[in-house]
Protein backbone atom coordinates (compact mmCIF):
# COMPACT_ATOMS: atom_id res chain seq x y z
CA UNK A 1 0.00 0.00 0.00
CA UNK A 2 1.17 3.51 -0.55
CA UNK A 3 0.26 6.96 0.67
CA UNK A 4 -0.82 9.17 -2.22
CA UNK A 5 -0.18 12.93 -2.25
CA UNK A 6 -3.31 15.02 -1.69
CA UNK A 7 -4.14 17.87 -4.07
CA UNK A 8 -4.62 21.20 -2.35
CA UNK A 9 -7.35 23.80 -2.81
CA UNK A 10 -6.84 25.63 -6.10
CA UNK A 11 -5.73 22.58 -8.07
CA UNK A 12 -7.97 22.05 -11.10
CA UNK A 13 -8.40 18.32 -10.39
CA UNK A 14 -10.64 19.31 -7.48
CA UNK A 15 -12.99 21.16 -9.83
CA UNK A 16 -13.41 18.44 -12.40
CA UNK A 17 -16.20 15.91 -12.46
CA UNK A 18 -14.95 12.37 -11.91
CA UNK A 19 -16.03 9.62 -14.32
CA UNK A 20 -17.91 6.43 -13.43
CA UNK A 21 -15.78 3.34 -12.86
CA UNK A 22 -16.59 0.82 -15.61
CA UNK A 23 -15.22 -2.42 -14.24
CA UNK A 24 -13.50 -4.06 -11.33
CA UNK A 25 -9.87 -5.13 -11.61
CA UNK A 26 -6.74 -5.54 -9.48
CA UNK A 27 -5.72 -1.97 -10.16
CA UNK A 28 -8.98 -0.72 -8.68
CA UNK A 29 -8.54 -2.85 -5.55
CA UNK A 30 -5.01 -1.54 -5.11
CA UNK A 31 -6.09 2.04 -5.67
CA UNK A 32 -8.83 1.76 -3.03
CA UNK A 33 -6.30 0.25 -0.59
CA UNK A 34 -4.04 3.22 -1.25
CA UNK A 35 -6.95 5.62 -0.66
CA UNK A 36 -7.63 4.00 2.74
CA UNK A 37 -3.94 4.18 3.61
CA UNK A 38 -3.81 7.83 2.53
CA UNK A 39 -6.84 8.94 4.55
CA UNK A 40 -5.58 7.13 7.67
CA UNK A 41 -2.09 8.53 7.34
CA UNK A 42 -3.49 12.03 6.90
CA UNK A 43 -5.75 11.63 9.93
CA UNK A 44 -8.88 12.21 7.86
CA UNK A 45 -12.24 10.45 7.87
CA UNK A 46 -13.01 10.51 4.17
CA UNK A 47 -11.36 10.90 0.79
CA UNK A 48 -12.51 11.19 -2.82
CA UNK A 49 -10.45 9.91 -5.76
CA UNK A 50 -10.00 13.32 -7.35
CA UNK A 51 -8.29 14.53 -4.18
CA UNK A 52 -5.46 12.18 -5.13
CA UNK A 53 -5.59 13.10 -8.81
CA UNK A 54 -7.76 10.32 -10.22
CA UNK A 55 -10.96 11.17 -12.09
CA UNK A 56 -12.86 8.12 -10.95
CA UNK A 57 -16.07 8.05 -8.94
CA UNK A 58 -14.66 6.41 -5.81
CA UNK A 59 -14.89 7.55 -2.20
CA UNK A 60 -13.68 6.02 1.03
CA UNK A 61 -15.09 6.70 4.49
CA UNK A 62 -13.30 5.66 7.67
CA UNK A 63 -14.76 7.01 10.89
CA UNK A 64 -13.53 4.06 12.99
CA UNK A 65 -10.99 6.24 14.82
CA UNK A 66 -13.74 8.37 16.34
CA UNK A 67 -15.23 7.30 19.64
CA UNK A 68 -18.91 7.69 18.68
CA UNK A 69 -18.49 5.78 15.40
CA UNK A 70 -15.77 3.29 16.31
CA UNK A 71 -17.97 0.29 15.39
CA UNK A 72 -18.48 1.59 11.87
CA UNK A 73 -16.26 -0.41 9.48
CA UNK A 74 -14.32 1.55 6.86
CA UNK A 75 -16.18 1.51 3.56
CA UNK A 76 -15.38 2.20 -0.09
CA UNK A 77 -18.19 3.34 -2.38
CA UNK A 78 -17.75 3.07 -6.12
CA UNK A 79 -20.03 5.16 -8.36
CA UNK A 80 -22.02 6.41 -5.34
CA UNK A 81 -25.34 8.08 -6.01
CA UNK A 82 -27.64 9.73 -3.48
CA UNK A 83 -31.15 8.32 -4.00
CA UNK A 84 -32.94 10.30 -1.31
CA UNK A 85 -32.28 12.76 1.48
CA UNK A 86 -34.13 13.61 4.66
CA UNK A 87 -33.91 16.26 7.33
CA UNK A 88 -31.27 18.88 7.77
CA UNK A 89 -28.43 19.38 10.21
CA UNK A 90 -25.52 21.70 10.72
CA UNK A 91 -22.05 20.34 11.35
CA UNK A 92 -18.54 21.69 11.26
CA UNK A 93 -16.56 20.35 8.32
CA UNK A 94 -12.96 20.29 7.27
CA UNK A 95 -11.19 18.83 4.25
CA UNK A 96 -7.76 17.29 3.69
CA UNK A 97 -7.47 19.49 0.57
CA UNK A 98 -8.21 22.62 2.63
CA UNK A 99 -6.12 22.19 5.80
CA UNK A 100 -6.83 24.23 8.94
CA UNK A 101 -10.16 25.52 7.68
CA UNK A 102 -13.26 24.39 9.55
CA UNK A 103 -16.70 25.84 8.96
CA UNK A 104 -20.29 24.91 9.65
CA UNK A 105 -22.26 23.54 6.72
CA UNK A 106 -25.94 22.55 6.44
CA UNK A 107 -26.64 19.19 4.85
CA UNK A 108 -29.34 16.50 4.88
CA UNK A 109 -29.31 14.35 8.02
CA UNK A 110 -30.25 10.97 6.56
CA UNK A 111 -29.42 9.71 3.09
CA UNK A 112 -30.00 6.63 1.01
CA UNK A 113 -27.07 5.85 -1.28
CA UNK A 114 -26.65 3.41 -4.15
CA UNK A 115 -23.12 2.30 -4.99
CA UNK A 116 -20.98 -0.60 -6.10
CA UNK A 117 -18.82 -2.45 -3.59
CA UNK A 118 -15.28 -3.70 -4.22
CA UNK A 119 -16.65 -6.83 -5.94
CA UNK A 120 -18.60 -4.46 -8.19
CA UNK A 121 -21.91 -5.63 -6.75
CA UNK A 122 -24.80 -3.16 -6.57
CA UNK A 123 -25.50 -2.09 -3.01
CA UNK A 124 -27.66 0.37 -1.14
CA UNK A 125 -27.25 1.81 2.31
CA UNK A 126 -28.91 4.29 4.61
CA UNK A 127 -26.56 6.58 6.49
CA UNK A 128 -27.14 9.28 9.07
CA UNK A 129 -25.18 11.66 11.25
CA UNK A 130 -21.44 11.80 10.74
CA UNK A 131 -21.31 9.00 8.16
CA UNK A 132 -23.95 10.66 5.98
CA UNK A 133 -22.08 13.93 6.37
CA UNK A 134 -18.78 12.45 5.20
CA UNK A 135 -20.43 10.64 2.28
CA UNK A 136 -22.13 13.82 1.07
CA UNK A 137 -18.90 15.80 1.41
CA UNK A 138 -16.96 13.17 -0.59
CA UNK A 139 -19.66 12.75 -3.26
CA UNK A 140 -19.52 16.53 -3.70
CA UNK A 141 -15.79 16.18 -4.42
CA UNK A 142 -16.59 13.78 -7.27
CA UNK A 143 -18.73 16.55 -8.76
CA UNK A 144 -16.04 19.21 -8.32
CA UNK A 145 -17.76 20.79 -5.32
CA UNK A 146 -15.93 21.82 -2.12
CA UNK A 147 -17.49 22.52 1.27
CA UNK A 148 -16.29 26.14 1.20
CA UNK A 149 -18.57 26.64 -1.83
CA UNK A 150 -21.52 26.60 0.60
CA UNK A 151 -20.24 29.46 2.74
CA UNK A 152 -21.86 32.84 2.42
CA UNK A 153 -19.84 35.50 0.53
CA UNK A 154 -18.82 37.38 3.69
CA UNK A 155 -17.36 34.26 5.27
CA UNK A 156 -15.65 33.29 2.05
CA UNK A 157 -14.11 36.73 1.82
CA UNK A 158 -12.64 36.30 5.29
CA UNK A 159 -11.11 32.99 4.19
CA UNK A 160 -9.63 34.33 0.95
CA UNK A 161 -6.14 34.92 2.31
CA UNK A 162 -6.02 31.52 3.94
CA UNK A 163 -7.22 29.79 0.76
CA UNK A 164 -4.60 31.61 -1.31
CA UNK A 165 -1.91 30.35 1.06
CA UNK A 166 -3.18 26.79 0.76
CA UNK A 167 -3.13 27.13 -3.02
CA UNK A 168 0.54 28.15 -2.83
CA UNK A 169 1.31 25.17 -0.62
CA UNK A 170 1.87 27.24 2.51
CA UNK A 171 0.41 24.64 4.81
CA UNK A 172 1.78 22.70 7.70
CA UNK A 173 0.54 19.18 7.32
CA UNK A 174 2.12 15.81 7.97
CA UNK A 175 1.04 14.26 4.65
CA UNK A 176 2.37 14.69 1.10
CA UNK A 177 0.58 17.33 -0.96
CA UNK A 178 0.36 18.73 -4.47
CA UNK A 179 0.02 22.52 -4.73
CA UNK A 180 1.04 25.37 -7.04
CA UNK A 181 4.41 25.63 -5.35
CA UNK A 182 5.71 22.32 -4.15
CA UNK A 183 7.30 22.40 -0.71
CA UNK A 184 10.98 21.49 -0.68
CA UNK A 185 11.50 17.77 -0.76
CA UNK A 186 8.08 16.94 -2.20
CA UNK A 187 7.83 15.23 -5.55
CA UNK A 188 5.52 16.52 -8.23
CA UNK A 189 3.04 13.94 -9.46
CA UNK A 190 1.03 13.73 -12.63
CA UNK A 191 -2.73 13.59 -12.58
CA UNK A 192 -4.00 10.27 -13.90
- Residues assigned a catalytic role: 138
Of the listed pieces 23-31, 57-65, 87-95, 100-108, which binds Ni ion according to CB under 5 A? 87-95
Q: How far apart are CA 136 and CA 124, in angstroms?
A: 15
Dihedral of CA atoms 142, 68, 125, 150 in degrees, nearest 10, equals -30
**Nearer CB in complex with Ni ion: 42/95:** 95
**Least CB distance from residue 85 to Ni ion, whole Å?**
19
Dihedral of CA atoms 180, 160, 59, 43 in degrees, nearest 10, equals 80
Residues 6+ apart with CB under 8 A from 149: none
**Nearer CB in complex with Ni ion: 24/162:** 162
Of the listed pieces 14-22, 25-33, 88-96, 111-119, which binds Ni ion according to CB under 5 A? 88-96
Are 68 and 134 within 8 A, CB to CB?
no
**Least CB distance from residue 106 to Ni ion, whole Å?**
16
Size of the site for Ni ion (CB under 5 A): 1
Residues 54-83 that bind Ni ion (CB under 5 A): none
Q: Is 95 in the site for Ni ion (CB under 5 A)?
A: yes
Are 133 and 107 within 8 A, CB to CB?
yes
**Nearer CB in complex with Ni ion: 79/97:** 97
**Nearer CB in complex with Ni ion: 76/95:** 95
Of the listed pieces 64-72, 93-101, 127-135, 184-192, which binds Ni ion according to CB under 5 A? 93-101
Kindly provide the b/e burial profile for residues 22-59, where b requires at least 16 CB atoms within 10 angstroms of the residue's own CB: eeeeeebeebbebbbebbbbbebbbbbbbbbbbebbbb
**Least CB distance from residue 158 to Ni ion, whole Å?**
20
By the 10 Å C-beta count (0-12 exposed, 13-18 middle, 19+ buried), 137 is classed as buried
**Least CB distance from residue 176 to Ni ion, whole Å?**
16
Residue nearest to Ni ion (CB): 95
* Binding footprint of Ni ion on the chain (CB under 5 A): 95
Amino acid sequence: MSVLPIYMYGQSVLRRKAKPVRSQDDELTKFVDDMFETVREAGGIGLAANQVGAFQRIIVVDVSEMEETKDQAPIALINPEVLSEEGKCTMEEGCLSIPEVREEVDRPEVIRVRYKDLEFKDRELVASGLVARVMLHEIDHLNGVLFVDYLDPAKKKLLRGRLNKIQRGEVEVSYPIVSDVLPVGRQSVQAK
